[in-house]
């Protein structure tokens, strides 16, 4: 069942029923100021950090779900309704939510009154702008009472939900004109406040939640709205809110427009006050003036749309698959931007308080984003590297506000350092900016310990070879990519974190996934060393990579597939000898991406085993058979019910690793089959089963052992976004940025006859047409560049202009 449709021309997904199987959300903002907004306007707004600079309050476990957001109430005689359906849930005569690129528009109507609500964050603006248009579609005059609503969070979102003995006494507000200001804690240690304004005279307001909603009411029936009048309340402690009350008269056919701004202001310490106890509102008033007319709002909205058009124009696909075109050309790239901004910190499944920016996550996010805004990728790489330790290890997470490592979580996730080689090499291939390697970057954010970024890469490589176990395979530490495979944890206490608890600190638990990862990015490190003339480093690294390949072949091959690990006791994990968890996807993916044992047939056997044992109609499961008992020596992975998350769920993030392996074998039909199964636009028809948004990837789909196979969870913030864009663009479509140019190496389904890619690279635009007259998967017969035959398959670096490329497979 579908709940909407793709509007490709406008780059929107149009939701036609407010009762989606799960809240279908969107993101507002691009750089420092953000908002999450659902198809019924639920969500919240924050500046930079969803934990420490939360503007509005949101309760994830509310019943019904997705209650709390930016709301507008319309009281039309005895009928009260919301332009966004919630929270009143009054049945509407019409409803559409159009989620676009960094904006959402709600079109609705009831009893001859129509509403058009546009929500977005303008470029380089610290505020969320709402343009609300109300039109009387009837033939009689309407007198409508309009109420706005936002509930302030007391800045620190975690403290806001727990420290009630303080927070129920600290709320402070100011009201001036049509602007309602939130200034809790401003007089002491904060230099920031928030405001909610409207560009018209108001008839009343409320800033105290109890006065507006009533002690025994909910968002769906606020007392002030029921009474048809604001109370002009001033919050003194308790829970501060912001609600405007506006009496609107609309003649037949008349339309009126209102601009609301939910803004954030920082003042220098010496500029905090206008007078004693009165905040300095100069910046806030300037922000309001920027959007005090509809024309100014619509101009900013046009700028936002142009911004996204220019970004997306850097990679456009035209193929026989319309579902694929919209994902590659629009939605997958959009999701890559969002995951770059958010890492895994703030979605409907991540509350924004428990995680910062992940070291591993952020490095991977760059590979799907770097072609869009390379300068931001560069900045992020340097931020990430600065949280590394001198031995090559690193903090597993860091806070975006301070850019400091998360001491509470710490490090010792032994795959982390290698991902830095991925992001840096991807960035340099895209930009040609080798100078980044000479940037001086601190260790542990200590400037006195700064070394070149290349040194950071060198210690990242060395961290693996300095931490090898009994089989000369990498020690896993707390965990590798799979945070739930905790081979040194041994937890019996439900209040412990599996990831941070290490009750048995041994040097025996080894990861074959890290071994494959090391070979892949060890080869990248070698290639990079050769590019910059560091021959000795390249030669030394080559010895270690070859030694690792040898160790994998000798100690990590199980006969039909690669082992997953060795546990604390030195026993095999992911072996046919095991009762449960005989085979895992991660080591099959990375060892085949590394092409370990390709000549001996190990690579083919491994991928054949994936097909036989892990494939399902909804994607490749993480392991098989699923765990049915808690294995204390394995940790969290065995705590999930069979078929969910890391216990034999379809972890979409790692499906691309197997897909890449298939393309390296030249099996384009199988690669495409796997890719299509998890691509959200192909799942639109089963939205009632899949549940999550059909326009973005989710982290996990319930596997074949689950109660409801095919059900999705954890959408938006997942490495699936970057890895799938990387996989489809570089390994299936075969457009690969490289140090010396743009490499062309497709591996496609045999029934694809042709496709075209428009790709910007190093200042030039390449319009690439690939023809497949013989119906093959892989292999290039000829390439022409601007009408001339090209030797090899690397397009030379051209710094300007548009160039025609014709590729014939054969």
CA-CA distance, 662 to 604, in Å (whole number)? 9
Asked if residue 563 has a cis previous peptide bond (ω within 30° of 0), the answer is no
Tracing tokens 């407010």 back to the chain, one arrives at: 18
Tracing tokens 């080591």 back to the chain, one arrives at: 587
CA-CA-CA-CA dihedral for 453, 454, 458, 461, to nearest 10:
80
CA-CA distance, 272 to 276, in Å (whole number)? 10
Which has the closest alpha carbon to 16: 71, 76, 92?
Answer: 92
CA-CA distance, 776 to 747, in Å (whole number)? 9
Structure tokens of 420? 């830095």
The answer to whether residue 410 scores a pLDDT higher than 80 is no
Q: Residues 740-785: pLDDT tens digits?
A: 999 999 999 999 999 999 999 999 999 999 999 999 999 999 999 9
Determine how many CB atoms are found less than 10 A away from the CB of residue 739.
17
Report H helices in 102-191: 157-160, 164-167
pLDDT in the model for residue 409: 77
Half-sphere exposure of 279 (CA within 13 A, CB side): 29
CA-CA distance, 75 to 496, in Å (whole number)? 50
Question: 652 near 606, Cβ under 8 Å?
Answer: no
Asked if residue 64 has a cis previous peptide bond (ω within 30° of 0), the answer is yes
Cα angle for residues 579, 647, 710 (degrees, 5° grid) = 120
pLDDT in the model for residue 749: 98
pLDDT in the model for residue 335: 98
CA-CA distance, 54 to 65, in Å (whole number)? 20
Longest pairwise C-alpha distance within the chain: 85
Three-state secondary structure call for residue 515: helix
Burial class (CB in 10 A: 0-12, 13-18, 19+), 182: buried
- Angle of the 585-593 helix axis to the 602-613 helix axis, nearest 10: 150
φ/ψ (deg, to 5) at 804: -95, 130
Q: Residues 72-123: pLDDT tens digits?
A: 999 999 999 999 999 999 999 999 999 999 999 999 999 999 999 999 999 9
Question: 257 near 294, Cβ under 8 Å?
Answer: yes
Strands, E assignment, 291-407: 315-318, 357-358, 397-398
The answer to whether residue 231 scores a pLDDT higher than 90 is yes
Q: Provide the whole-model pTM.
A: 0.97
pLDDT grade, residue 606 (50/70/90)? very high
Average pLDDT over residues 538-564: 98
Question: 143 near 159, Cβ under 8 Å?
Answer: no
pLDDT in the model for residue 515: 98
Question: Cβ neighbours of residue 568 under 8 Å, at least 6 residues apart?
Answer: 487, 488, 490, 504, 506, 508, 509, 633
The H-or-E segment that residue 781 falls in is strand 780-785
Residues β-bridged to residue 742? 737, 795
CA-CA distance, 429 to 407, in Å (whole number)? 33
% pLDDT > 70, the chain: 100
Average pLDDT over residues 622-638: 97
pLDDT grade, residue 23 (50/70/90)? very high
Q: Residues 133-184: pLDDT tens digits?
A: 999 999 999 999 999 999 999 999 999 999 999 999 999 999 999 999 999 9
Three-state secondary structure call for residue 803: strand
Which has the closest alpha carbon to 447: 382, 398, 399?
Answer: 382
CA-CA distance, 693 to 165, in Å (whole number)? 39
The answer to whether residue 355 scores a pLDDT higher than 90 is no
CA-CA distance, 267 to 71, in Å (whole number)? 28
pLDDT in the model for residue 356: 79
DSSP labels, 7-73: ETTTTEEEE--S--SS--EEEE-SSSEEEEEETTSB--EEES-TTTSEEE---TT-SSSS--BSEEE
Report H helices in 236-331: 282-290, 294-312, 322-326
% pLDDT > 90, the chain: 95
Structure tokens of 33? 């100021």
The answer to whether residue 45 scores a pLDDT higher than 90 is yes
State the chain's mean pLDDT as an integer.
Answer: 96
Average pLDDT over residues 526-551: 98
DSSP labels, 189-221: T--EEEEEEESS--SEEEEEHHHHH-TT--TTS
Q: Residues 561-570: pLDDT tens digits?
A: 999 999 999 9
Residues β-bridged to residue 435? none
Average pLDDT over residues 345-352: 92
Three-state secondary structure call for residue 575: coil
Q: Residues 146-156: pLDDT tens digits?
A: 999 999 999 99
- Report how far apart, in Å, the C-alpha atoms of 370 and of each of 428, 654, 728 are: 10, 20, 15
The H-or-E segment that residue 420 falls in is helix 416-431
Residues designated catalytic: 483
- Report how far apart, in Å, the C-alpha atoms of 576 and of each of 142, 211, 641 are: 74, 65, 22
The H-or-E segment that residue 511 falls in is strand 510-511
The H-or-E segment that residue 735 falls in is strand 735-738
Tell me the torsion sign for CA atoms 414, 407, 28, 22: positive
Chain centroid to Cα 338, Å, comes to 5
Asked if residue 528 has a cis previous peptide bond (ω within 30° of 0), the answer is no
Report H helices in 668-809: 668-678, 687-690, 720-726
Question: 708 near 689, Cβ under 8 Å?
Answer: yes
Three-state secondary structure call for residue 294: helix
CA-CA distance, 262 to 149, in Å (whole number)? 11
pLDDT grade, residue 354 (50/70/90)? confident
CA-CA distance, 335 to 357, in Å (whole number)? 16
pLDDT grade, residue 405 (50/70/90)? confident
Cα angle for residues 1, 115, 246 (degrees, 5° grid) = 140
The answer to whether residue 402 scores a pLDDT higher than 80 is yes
pLDDT in the model for residue 1: 93
Q: Residues 499-524: pLDDT tens digits?
A: 888 878 779 999 999 999 999 999 99
Structure tokens of 674? 């796997």
Average pLDDT over residues 701-716: 97
Average pLDDT over residues 310-314: 97
Which has the closest alpha carbon to 475: 422, 413, 421?
Answer: 413
Three-state secondary structure call for residue 768: strand
What's the count of helices (H) and strands (E) in the chain, helices before strands?
20, 44
Three-state secondary structure call for residue 149: strand
């Amino acid at each position: 069942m579908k709940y909407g449709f793709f509007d490709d021309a406008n780059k929107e997904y149009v939701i036609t029923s407010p009762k989606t199987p799960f809240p279908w959300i969107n993101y507002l903002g691009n750089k420092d100021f953000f908002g999450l907004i659902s198809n019924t306007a639920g969500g919240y707004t924050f500046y930079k950090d969803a934990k420490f600079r939360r503007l509005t309050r949101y309760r994830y476990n509310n019943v019904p779900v997705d209650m709390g957001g930016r709301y507008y109430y319309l009281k039309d005689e005895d009928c009260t309704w919301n332009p966004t359906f919630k929270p009143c849930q009054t049945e509407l005569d019409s409803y559409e939510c159009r989620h676009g690129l960094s904006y959402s528009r709600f079109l609705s109507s009831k009893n001859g009154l129509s509403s058009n609500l546009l929500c977005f964050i303008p470029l380089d603006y610290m505020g969320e702008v709402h343009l609300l248009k109300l039109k009387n579609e009837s033939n009689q005059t309407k007198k409508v009472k309009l109420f706005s609503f936002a509930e302030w969070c007391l800045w620190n979102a975690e403290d806001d939900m727990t420290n009630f003995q303080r927070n129920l006494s600290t709320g402070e507000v100011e009201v001036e004109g049509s602007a309602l200001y939130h200034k809790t804690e401003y007089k002491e240690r904060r230099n920031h406040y928030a405001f909610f304004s409207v560009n018209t005279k108001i008839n009343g307001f409320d800033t105290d939640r109890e006065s507006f909603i009533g002690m025994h009411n909910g968002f769906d029936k606020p007392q002030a709205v029921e009474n048809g009048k604001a109370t002009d309340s001033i919050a003194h402690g308790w829970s501060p809110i912001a609600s405007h009350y506006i009496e609107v008269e609309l003649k037949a056919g008349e339309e009126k427009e209102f601009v609301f701004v939910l803004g954030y202001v920082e003042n220098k310490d010496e500029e905090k006050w206008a007078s004693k106890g009165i905040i300095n509102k100069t910046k806030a008033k300037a922000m309001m003036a920027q959007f005090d007319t509809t024309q100014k709002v619509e101009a900013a909205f046009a700028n936002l749309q142009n911004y996204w058009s220019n970004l997306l124009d850097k990679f456009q696909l035209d193929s026989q698959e319309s579902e694929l075109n919209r994902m590659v050309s629009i939605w997958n790239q959009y999701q890559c931007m969002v995951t770059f901004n958010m890492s895994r910190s703030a979605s409907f499944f991540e509350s924004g308080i428990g995680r910062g920016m992940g070291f591993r996550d952020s490095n991977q996010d760059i590979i799907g984003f770097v072609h869009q805004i390379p300068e931001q990728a560069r900045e992020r790489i340097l931020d990430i590297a600065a949280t590394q330790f001198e031995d090559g290890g690193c903090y597993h997470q860091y806070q975006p506000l301070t850019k400091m490592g998360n001491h509470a979580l710490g490090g010792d996730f032994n795959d982390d350092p290698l991902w830095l080689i991925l992001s840096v090499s991807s960035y340099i291939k895209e930009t040609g900016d080798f100078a980044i390697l000479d940037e001086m970057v601190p260790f542990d954010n200590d400037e006195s310990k700064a070394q070149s970024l290349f040194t950071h890469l060198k210690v990242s490589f060395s961290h693996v070879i300095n931490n090898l176990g009994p089989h000369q395979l990498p020690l896993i530490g707390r965990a590798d990519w799979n945070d739930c495979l905790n081979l040194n944890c041994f937890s019996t206490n439900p209040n412990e974190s599996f990831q941070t608890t290490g009750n048995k600190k041994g040097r025996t638990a080894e990861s074959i996934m890290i071994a494959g990862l090391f070979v892949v990015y060890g080869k990248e490190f070698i290639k990079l060393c050769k590019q910059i003339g560091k021959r000795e480093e390249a030669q030394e690294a080559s010895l270690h990579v070859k030694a690792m390949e040898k160790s994998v072949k000798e100690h990590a091959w199980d006969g039909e597939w690669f082992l997953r690990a060795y546990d604390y006791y030195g026993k095999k994990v992911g072996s046919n000898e095991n009762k449960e968890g005989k085979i895992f996807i991660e080591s099959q993916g990375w060892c085949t991406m590394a092409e370990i044992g390709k000549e001996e047939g190990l690579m083919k056997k491994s991928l054949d085993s994936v097909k036989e044992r892990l494939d399902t109609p909804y994607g490749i499961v993480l392991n098989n058979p699923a765990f049915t008992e808690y294995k204390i020596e394995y940790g969290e992975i065995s705590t999930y019910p069979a078929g969910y998350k890391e216990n034999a769920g379809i972890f979409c993030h790692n499906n691309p690793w197997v897909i890449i392996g298939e393309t390296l074998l030249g099996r384009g039909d199988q690669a495409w089959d796997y890719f299509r199964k998890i691509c959200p636009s192909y799942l639109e028809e089963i939205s009632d089963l899949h549940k999550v948004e059909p326009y973005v990837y989710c982290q996990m789909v319930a596997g074949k052992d689950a109660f409801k196979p095919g059900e999705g969870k954890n959408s938006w913030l997942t490495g699936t976004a970057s890895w799938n864009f990387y996989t489809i663009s570089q390994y299936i479509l075969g457009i690969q940025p490289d140090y010396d140019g743009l490499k062309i190496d497709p591996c496609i389904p045999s029934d694809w006859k042709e496709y075209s890619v428009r790709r910007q690279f190093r200042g030039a635009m390449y319009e690439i047409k690939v023809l497949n007259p013989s119906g093959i998967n892989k292999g290039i017969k000829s390439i022409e560049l601007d009408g001339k035959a090209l030797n090899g398959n690397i397009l030379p670096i051209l710094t300007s202009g548009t160039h025609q490329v014709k590729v014939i497979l054969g």
